[in-house]
Amino acid sequence: MKMTEKTYSRPTIPFPATEYTARLARLRRRLVTEKLDAVLVEDAVNRYYLTGFEASNGVLCVSAADEPVFLTDFRYLESARQAIPFARCARLVAGVSRYEPLAAQARRQHWRRVGVDGTAGGAPQASRNQTLPAVTAWTSCQESLNRLRQVKSPRELAALRRAIAMNDRVFATALPQIRPGMTEWAIRVLLRAEMDRVSQGESFDTIVAIGTHASHCHHHPSLRPWRRGQGLLLDMGVKVDGYCADMTRVVFYGPPSPRLREIYQVVLAANRRAIAGVRAGLSGDAADRLARQVIEKAGYGRYFGHGLGHGLGLQVHDPGSLRPKGEERLAEGMVVTIEPGIYLPGVGGVRIEDVVVLRRHGCELLTRTPKELLVL
C-alpha cells in the first residue's frame, strides 16, 4: 500500500448533528407507538449511537415531551456539552442517585411508563424505583433500540463501506508478508500493526489459527508455526469512524490434504449459495438454511455449529442474526455477515466470511477479497 493512499489512522470523526437528531426522532416515534413517556438509555453503545459521544458513564433521557437530557459525571461534562448541542447536559454527583436530575421532569410530565435498555433488574432498578416513585411500569426498550440500529443510514453504510474496503486492503498488504515458519502470534502482530497504520485498529481480537487449531472457531493465537500442508485461518476486521469490518479467509502453505480441499469447496459453495439467496424479508432461520443445506448435503452438517451470520455496525456483533430457529425477519438496509464453516477436530477448519447489505430482492456484496482456494 502506498503511503500516498488514503488511510483512516486518525481519531474517529463523528457524524453531523443531524444524523443523531434523526435517530432521536425515530426513537421518539417509537415512544408514541409503545405508549412510553420516556426512555432511559444507559448502555454505552446505545448512548453512542444516539449522541455520537463516547463516555464510560452516563444516562441519556429521551422523553416524548421535552429535549433530550444527557447526564454524566465531572470527567465528561464539559466535553459532552461541546459534543451534544442538541441535548441538555447535566452533572451526575457522587453519592446522589443518578436519576435524581430527572425527578422534577418526571413529576412535571407525569411519567408513568418508562423504557430502559438492557435489563431492568438489580441495583439500578431499585434506585429508579426510589427516585422516580410515580413510574408504575418499567419496560425494556432494548428490542426497539436494536431495530433502530439494525437498519443502517446512508452515512452508516458509507462508514461501513470504508471499513470493509480498508480491511480488504490490509489483507492484501499483509498476506505477502506472511512467511512459512511464522507463528500464529507473529502473524497476529503483523496484522494488528497494519490495521493500526491505516485505520482505528481492530474491531475485535484478530483470530489466527494454523492447522488443526482452525477447528476451534474462536482460537486464541499461540506460538504454533505455519508448516507445509497446513491451512491458515485469518478472521480480522478494522474500525473506521466507529464502524466495524469483519472477514475470514483460509489460505494454505503447500497443497492441502484431499479432506481439507473438499471441505473448502463445500464451504465456498455454501457461502455463494447464501449470498445468491439472502434478502430482506427472510427469517433468520430461512437465511441460515440457504448455506446449511449445502453443508448438510455434503455430510458435514454436525460440523457447522454456529449461525450463518450476524449484524455488523458499531459492534462486530451488532443486533440481528442469521441462525437456526431465528424467527425475526431480516430488514432492508441491514448489514450482515455471511460466514458458513466446517470444523473437523484433529483435522482443521474452514470458514469463509463476507459482508453484505440486505435489499428487498437480494443483497449487495461489500467484501472484495477473493475467496477461491489459495495455495502459497
> Residue 5 — pLDDT band, cuts 50, 70, 90?
low
Per DSSP, the three-state class of 282 is coil
Percent of the chain with pLDDT over 70: 98
Sequence-distant (≥ 6) Cβ neighbours of residue 156 within 8 angstroms = 243, 313
Digit-coded pLDDT (tens) for 215-273? 999 999 999 999 999 999 999 999 999 999 999 999 999 999 999 999 999 999 999 99
> Residue 118 — pLDDT band, cuts 50, 70, 90?
confident
Name the residue with higher pLDDT: 120 or 371.
371
What pLDDT, on a 0 to 100 scale, did the predictor assign at position 65?
Answer: 84
What pLDDT, on a 0 to 100 scale, did the predictor assign at position 179?
Answer: 96
Within 13 Å, how many C-alpha atoms sit on residue 94's CB side? 2
Digit-coded pLDDT (tens) for 20-79? 999 999 999 999 999 999 999 999 999 999 999 999 999 999 998 899 999 999 999 999
Mean pLDDT of the chain: 96
Query: Domain ranges in the chain?
Result: 17-149, 151-375
The 3-state secondary structure of 59-125 reads: EEEEECCCCCEEEECHHHHHHHHHHCCCCEEEECCCCCCCCHHHHHHHHHCCCCEEEECCCCCHHHH
What pLDDT, on a 0 to 100 scale, did the predictor assign at position 200?
Answer: 97
pLDDT at 120 > cutoff 80: no
Decide if 368 contacts 356 (C-beta within 8 A): no
What pLDDT, on a 0 to 100 scale, did the predictor assign at position 219?
Answer: 97
Mean pLDDT of 198-205: 97
Class of domain 151-375: alpha beta
Q: How far apart are CA 51 and CA 48, in angstroms?
A: 5
Evaluate whether 17-149 and 151-375 have a shared fold: no
What pLDDT, on a 0 to 100 scale, did the predictor assign at position 3?
Answer: 42
All cell numbers assigned to 304: 457447522
Sequence-distant (≥ 6) Cβ neighbours of residue 249 within 8 angstroms = 171, 233, 234, 352, 353, 369, 371, 374
- Architecture of domain 17-149 in this structure: 3-Layer(aba) Sandwich (3.40)
Q: How far apart are CA 253 and CA 353, in angstroms?
A: 20
> Residue 121 — pLDDT band, cuts 50, 70, 90?
low
Q: How many residues does the chain have?
A: 376
Nearest of 278, 260, 264, 261 to residue 338 by alpha carbon? 278
What pLDDT, on a 0 to 100 scale, did the predictor assign at position 185?
Answer: 98
β-pairing, 38-41 with 113-116? parallel
What pLDDT, on a 0 to 100 scale, did the predictor assign at position 286?
Answer: 98
> Residue 6 — pLDDT band, cuts 50, 70, 90?
confident
